[in-house]
Amino acid sequence: MKANEGPGNGAEWLRGTGGEADIVLSSRIRLARNVADFPFVVRMKAEQQAELARFLEQGIMGADLAPNMRYVDIDEADELEKLYLQERQLISRELADAKGKRGVSVGDMERISVMVNEEDHIRLQVIHSGFELDECWAAADRCDSLLGERVRYAFSPRLGYLTACPTNVGTGLRASVMLHLPGLVMTKQMKKVFAAMAKLNLAVRGMYGEGTEASSDLYQLSNQVSLGKSEEEIVHSLKSVIPQLIKFERNARKYLLEHGRVAVEDRVWRAYGMLRSARTISSQEAMIYLSQLRLGVNLGMVKDVHIDSLNELFILTQPAHLQKLEGKKLEEDKRDLARATLIRNRLGEV
């Protein structure tokens, strides 16, 4: 199977394009909105929630936010489909696990998506490959206006957009970037980064939540506050810190190459060797090696692997994607076999 075939196909944010894409995998803007005259999701009765879901599905599909929008009824989706959408970052675990009528609308390339009846009535997401926060914000703002023509948002002149959780009140905006920071991890500087980001009211999380930080070296950095600042200010406050982080990461890589080039090369090539030879591999182990190989590709050590293939493998080797690819439900040991086979096929067997 070639890169860009199968269910990994289509997500623009995996392409490895955009600014500083060796370190910034993707940029993302999320807007929380609620519809006036409807209670928040937690307070709605089932019938009301169903009515709102129908209304929003029509509104979103009619607003023409992106080409080829499709709507997925999450309350009718099976567990595999829900996990699959989570792995693609199109729905949250909260939406997957919730009850009642709810869904997600997804456009071409998966750049634009809208969750319906998650914590808020509307969660609009724009995600781009690379360091492209301005572009994401411009697209999100445009979608927000288009949707606003069809839906009357719950809005307070004093507070701004009203949301179910007070942390989202105001702009309802969360801006985030996904960063690959193997240099800072290897030089044991992530604690410093966490502390510095906390002071700036920025949150740092592992790619797939707790426990994955140390393995994939992928971190999501996002704003914590959405009230009391304009959207542009929030985007800018995140945006302005990224070049510094990129510089720290580049310095860490430079340090590693100057003080332990052999060790870095050894780690990179062993990871590549493992990925191309293992017959069974866990998701965790695959993430570790993929991350190490990604560093090697970005350092120019490994020349015959493309970043988009690697970005895709981070997603394709997740449990639901593997099962989609195989076309059937698989127990863990069979997934480990399928994962190893997929990786060998993609990277070329030893």
Nearer to its own copies, 67 or 348 (CB): 348
d(CA 337, CA 243): 40
Asked if 63 contacts 146 with a C-beta cutoff of 8 angstroms, the reply is yes
Asked if 14 contacts 168 with a C-beta cutoff of 8 angstroms, the reply is no
Work out which of 191, 199, 279, 303 binds its own copies, going by CB under 8 A: 279
Residue 330 binds to its own copies (criterion: CB under 8 A): no
d(CA 107, CA 61): 10
Lookup: tokens for 126 = 């724009």
Work out which of 61, 138, 200, 337 binds its own copies, going by CB under 8 A: 337
Using DSSP's 3-state secondary structure scheme, residue 214 falls into: helix
Work out which of 272, 318, 330, 343 binds its own copies, going by CB under 8 A: 272
Work out which of 340, 341, 342, 346 binds its own copies, going by CB under 8 A: 340
* Interface with its own copies in residues 249-268 (CB under 8 A): 262-263, 265-266
Work out which of 273, 284, 328, 329 binds its own copies, going by CB under 8 A: 273
DSSP state of 252: H
- Total chain residues near its own copies (CB under 8 A): 17
Nearer to its own copies, 150 or 259 (CB): 259
CB of 277 to its own copies, least distance (A): 3
Residue 284 binds to its own copies (criterion: CB under 8 A): no
Q: Any bridge partners for residue 30, and if so which?
A: 125, 174
Residue 269 binds to its own copies (criterion: CB under 8 A): yes
| DSSP E strand boundaries for the chain | 24-33, 70-73, 103-106, 112-116, 122-129, 155-156, 160-161, 173-180, 202-206, 218-223
CB of 70 to its own copies, least distance (A): 38
